[in-house]
Amino acid sequence: MPFLELTLPCTEAQQPRYERALENVGALAVTLVDAHADAADEQAIFEPGVGETPLWGEMVLTALFESGTPQELLLYALSAADEGLDWSRTSFREVEDQDWERAWMDQYEPLRFGERTWIVPWNSELPDGADAADAAVVRLDPGLAFGSGTHPTTALCLQWLDGLATLGHLRDARVLDFGCGSGILALAALKLGAAHAVGVDNDPQALIATRDNAERNGVSDRLAVHLPDDEPQAAYPVVVANILATALIALADKLAARVAPGGRIALSGILAGQEDEVLARYAQDFDELRADRLEDWMRVTGVRRG
């Protein structure tokens, strides 16, 4: 069925109030995109951090209502729901029903990271190289909510895992993916030779997505998922945490304790300029610390001191 689509710009600070008002007057769905993203990347959403909601400073908010909803009455109801918000830049259009996730996935191309790692959507044929005997192919159907490999923070982690595999550090290893989102990093590690992976995320929907993706990739028997409070107290030879810099700093002691002596860690979700604080916080527990950059994002890696 068709819908009435409402669109308006807002800031990160205003977003919760706008979304709450829209839900209070009956919005069927509310989505967000970066106001300054180009068309090719506007749907890229980096993986949510544990206890964090990753948003942009300025964004475009879109809400769907039942077709035929009177626009003037809707604006009146929204103004009454929160009198302190500006609804003057609201625009409307009628849109036809469609499978929004499928429409986005139709534009999502296979991606290669490092030497062997490929992220390939379910609706794509394997490209040249991904059909090689040693290729590590993750078939992913992420939708719009979790990591797909398109964001630099995820790409940095996938490149790191691919490099570890080349050096033999993933062979038969146990891997912790902290802030797993779609499970893309845990799945890649398993495809690259890890024996077992654990995914941790504070969003139950992320755990559902990770389980589903693991099953579709034939590795569900080697992957476990947990909420942070249920996470097993274990140490791993490989840990990757693609969250946000503030969370990485706050969780430094916990993440360090999850890395076995001599084990390796990758920290991502760090904006350029934030890496020095992350490096300083982890220096007490890790050697060989370094920061690598992709576009405006950084990845910090190190080896756990014995």
Q: Binding site residues for S-adenosyl-L-methionine, as ranges?
A: 154, 179, 201, 242
* Residue 298 bridge partners (DSSP): 270, 293
The single residue listed with the structure tokens 């700093």 is: 249
Q: Which two tokens stand for residue 298?
A: 């950084």
Contact 187, 118 (CB under 8 A): no
* 254: three-class secondary structure by DSSP: helix
Helix residue ranges per DSSP H, the chain: 15-24, 71-81, 100-105, 152-167, 184-191, 204-216, 245-250, 252-257, 275-282
Backbone dihedral region for residue 223 (phi beyond 0: left; psi -120 to 50: alpha; all else: beta): beta
For 16-57, list the strands marked E by DSSP. Answer: 29-34
Helix residue ranges per DSSP H, 140-180: 152-167
* 232: three-class secondary structure by DSSP: coil
Q: Which two tokens stand for residue 58?
A: 């300025």
Going by the annotation, the residues of the binding site are 154, 179, 201, 242
Rounded Cα distance between 198 and 223, Å, is 6
